[in-house]
Amino acid sequence: MIFPQKAAGWCLATAGLILFVLFYAALVPAAHAQAPQLSPEKRSAIEAAVAKFMASTHVPGVSVAVVEHGTYEWADGFGFADLENNSPASEHTLYRLGSISKSLSATGAMELWEQGKLDLDAPVQKYCPAFPQKPWPITTRQTMGHLAGIRHYKGGPDDLEINNTRHFDDPIQAGLDFFKNDPLLSQPGTQFHYSTQGYTLVGCVIEGASGAKYVDYMQKNVFEPAGMEHTLVDNRFRIIPYRTRFYSKTDSGTVENADFLDSSYKIPGGGWLSSAGDMAKFEVAILSDKLIKRSTRDLMWTPLKPTDGKKDDYALGWATGDDDGIATAAHSGGQQGTSTFFVLAPQQGAGVVVLTNMDDLNPREVGIEILKVLVGTSGNTSRK
């Protein structure tokens, strides 16, 4: 028998417990509900591939997301986002994207082209007068495809660009000032010269064509439509929940904190933070033609051909390729404390995102292995 006083207390306690459970359930990330859509066999194979990658690299944390049949189906984190505080990595952990940022910027530029606001073949000064005239005209198309002759980093241990520690509140102009007066490496259109600096010029073009600040334009026209609610600039002064710590590995194999970097001078080419979940949403938006039309996407994924005749599979902000018969569009990234890779197999409606918090790794291998788990090793090389 339950006495009235005890019954009342029991009811209150039970009600409180129910409210707690309901409150806790509301906090559980919705992405976990997507997990059952991925078959247990594929999930086990993916987790095994990630475990092998982590064991061979000693990377502290990895987050992975997959898209199958054009749908964001599963994401998870492995290891730690913060070793000092034992904080686990998750699908929501924010990593430096590195050069994956170029694919985001290219998509934003192609939206402007699609709207008739950007002529890809006009001189860049039409939209970015802050970039000085050179001996030859330079177009946005050439710049996006790394055929403009613009240099990359200067290189060397004392390179103040690679190891920049200064923060810039006017990122596009500050980024241009690093290289705008330097001579071109070659006549535009003739040779492929990969250049993160060149994507600062693309950011300036986006500002001129859109009439908005680059960061604001990307947030409104790329990230918000794609549902990328947590993608933002890697601002070292801001308190950013879920941002990982950044790590390196010494020659002896010891994991340590990565060199300091302020990437505010190169946001369009390597300055965004994102999560595996957000990047999977970007992949879905590209596959479903939510951001740009299919014909625009095809143009973005059409490699340019330098006149020197050398093989070039790089298109406009994306690297195209063929992996065992699977036609892919992808990009990798690497900088202090991060190594990243994402890939789309458009014909199969599949995609993979691999983000890590350690530099000098090659996540492409595990990314392609996961892609093959999703679609197999046979495909059609036509990119549709």
- pLDDT digit string, tens, across residues 321-341: 998 899 999 999 999 999 999
Q: Which residue has the tokens 């090659």?
A: 362
Worst-scoring range by mean pLDDT, 128-142, 159-173, 214-228, 337-351? 159-173
Instruction: Grade residue 377 by pLDDT with cuts at 50, 70 and 90.
Output: low
DSSP for 309-333? -----B-SSSEEEEETTEEEEEEEE
- pLDDT digit string, tens, across residues 91-111: 999 999 999 999 999 999 999
Q: What is the mean pLDDT of residues 163-168?
A: 92
Q: Which region, left, alpha or beta, applies to residue 168 given φ > 0 means left and ψ of -120 to 50 means alpha?
A: beta
DSSP for 174-204? HHHHHHTTSPPSS-TTTS----HHHHHHHHH
Instruction: Grade residue 157 by pLDDT with cuts at 50, 70 and 90.
Output: low
Does pLDDT of 139 surpass 70?
A: yes
Counting residues of the chain whose pLDDT is more than 70, the rounded percentage is 88
Instruction: Grade residue 2 by pLDDT with cuts at 50, 70 and 90.
Output: very low
Q: Do the Cβ atoms of 185 and 151 come closer than 8 Å?
A: yes
Does pLDDT of 363 surpass 70?
A: yes
What is the pLDDT at residue 159? Answer: 75
Does pLDDT of 234 surpass 70?
A: yes
Does pLDDT of 40 surpass 60?
A: yes
pTM of the model: 0.89
Ordered by start, the domain boundaries in the chain are: 31-375
Where do runs of H (alpha helix) occur along the chain? 4-27, 40-57, 100-114, 140-144, 171-179, 196-210, 214-218, 224-226, 267-270, 276-287, 294-300, 363-375
What is the pLDDT at residue 154? Answer: 86
Please indicate whether residue 320 or residue 37 has the higher confidence score (pLDDT): 320
- pLDDT digit string, tens, across residues 296-314: 999 999 999 999 999 999 9
Q: What is the mean pLDDT of residues 269-286?
A: 98
Q: Which residues contact 252 (CB under 8 A, 6 or more apart)?
A: none
Please indicate whether residue 41 or residue 36 has the higher confidence score (pLDDT): 41
Can you identify the CATH homologous superfamily of domain 31-375? DD-peptidase/beta-lactamase superfamily (3.40.710.10)
Does pLDDT of 266 surpass 60?
A: yes
Pairwise CA distance, residues 229 & 210, whole Å? 22
- pLDDT digit string, tens, across residues 215-230: 999 999 999 999 999 9
